[in-house]
Amino acid sequence: MPQPPVCLSLSHVRYAVGSTRSAAGLHEILRGVDFTARHGEVTVLLGPNGAGKTTALSCAQGLLRPSQGTVRLLGEDPHRADAALRARVGVMLQDGGLPQSVRPAVLLRHLASLHRDPWSLEDLIDRLDMADFMQTAVRRLSGGQRQRVALAASLIGRPEVVFLDEPSSGLDPQSRQRVFALIEHLRDLGLGIVLTTHLLEEAQNLADAVAILKDGEVVRRGTVEELTDDGRRRRLLFVAPRTLTRDELAAAPTEVTLDGGPANAPGARWAAAAIATPEDLAAMTHWWSSIDLMPAEVSFEARTLEDVFWEVSAA
């Protein structure tokens, strides 16, 4: 199947702050970032705090000009973008950036009036369950309500590409579900969606493509399948018929974490994330033998994005 068209590409993007003339010198925040995003796909940027995700998004949107490298957004240089390009792009910032004294109904109606063919406000209110607070000034809204207004504001102009910086932060589980359902709808409509999140399980469920940043570089890139199933490393799951002591866990040959079931009670399921070779497996059975544990069940499964994330973070 041919891949959908690219809507955003960053090639060898570097971004530095400071100056070679100042005592503090030049500080490189991005040290060669490469990734692409496509129409009809969700591209997720992951990375620990300070990895450079927001800076990379700012370069992608044209808010920051890279010191080196190239950014193409809908085929153009976003830093030189004119109003026509900006109208095709939606941006939701991490802290909302909404005017505080305005009511969401007024704000969103105003934004809609700036576009020739805006998204139906009623539809957005319905999809994001915002009816109850449309007449409340933004400053009186809860963090989660503000998030939803900011998301609606980024979409009202029917953009072709949308940037969402942590769209689900501060949302209760129900609102989060709605936001993720809306993101899936945007994907079905063919928008290019670029988002950052710290919620790895949701990234795993939503992402068509993932780029993991660390210290200003993309250290892993690919589909969730490509990142989690490298054909070798697997998760080993086992059910322990009794509780495991702290000392027993500390003696495990690789990190063993609780994966489900009752918290470290008889019947709990445990996972070892990095089983790559028969020797790794032998080390596990040796450990079970040394602590006199006969697992009730043993199975393998592909690693999760969370396993990959921890591996990258620890490297």
| Least distance in angstroms from the C-beta of 29 to ligand ATP | 4
| Least distance in angstroms from the C-beta of 216 to ligand ATP | 7
Nearest-10 crossing angle of helices 143-155, 104-113: 10
Inter-residue contact 272 to 255 (CB < 8 Å): yes
* 3-class secondary structure, 154: helix
Single out the residue of 42, 44, 46, 54 in contact with ligand ATP (rule: CB under 6 A).
Answer: 54
Inter-residue contact 160 to 88 (CB < 8 Å): yes
Cβ closer to ligand ATP: 52 or 90? 52
Cα separation, 151 vs 51, in Å, equals 24
Q: Does 53 bind ligand ATP (CB under 6 A)?
A: yes
Residues whose CB is less than 8 angstroms from the CB of residue 163 and which lie 6 or more positions away in sequence, other chains included: 57, 60, 61, 89, 90, 91, 92, 154, 194, 195
Q: Does 50 bind ligand ATP (CB under 6 A)?
A: yes
Cα separation, 148 vs 177, in Å, equals 12
| Least distance in angstroms from the C-beta of 52 to ligand ATP | 4
Q: Which stretch binds ligand ATP (CB under 6 A): 46-54, 124-132, 177-185, 272-280?
A: 46-54
**Short-list 197, 96, 184, CA closest to 138:** 96
Single out the residue of 51, 125, 203, 275 in contact with ligand ATP (rule: CB under 6 A).
Answer: 51
Inter-residue contact 213 to 53 (CB < 8 Å): yes
| Least distance in angstroms from the C-beta of 14 to ligand ATP | 13
Cβ closer to ligand ATP: 29 or 60? 29
Q: Which stretch binds ligand ATP (CB under 6 A): 49-57, 100-108, 155-163, 242-250?
A: 49-57
Question: Between the CA atoms of 278, 282, 288 and 294, what dihedral angle is there, to the nearest 10 degrees?
Answer: 60
* 3-class secondary structure, 113: helix
Cβ closer to ligand ATP: 220 or 235? 220
Cα separation, 287 vs 290, in Å, equals 5
Cβ closer to ligand ATP: 55 or 304? 55
Q: Does 22 bind ligand ATP (CB under 6 A)?
A: no
Q: Does 17 bind ligand ATP (CB under 6 A)?
A: yes
Q: Does 55 bind ligand ATP (CB under 6 A)?
A: yes
| Least distance in angstroms from the C-beta of 67 to ligand ATP | 12
Q: Which stretch binds ligand ATP (CB under 6 A): 31-39, 42-50, 71-79, 232-240?
A: 42-50
Q: Does 29 bind ligand ATP (CB under 6 A)?
A: yes
Inter-residue contact 60 to 71 (CB < 8 Å): yes
* 3-class secondary structure, 282: helix
Q: Does 97 bind ligand ATP (CB under 6 A)?
A: no
> Cα Rg for the chain, rounded, in angstroms?
23
| Least distance in angstroms from the C-beta of 55 to ligand ATP | 3
* Count of residues that bind ligand ATP according to CB under 6 A: 11
Assigned token pair, 302: 């592909």
| Least distance in angstroms from the C-beta of 69 to ligand ATP | 15
Residues that bind ligand ATP (CB under 6 A): 17, 27, 29, 47, 49-55
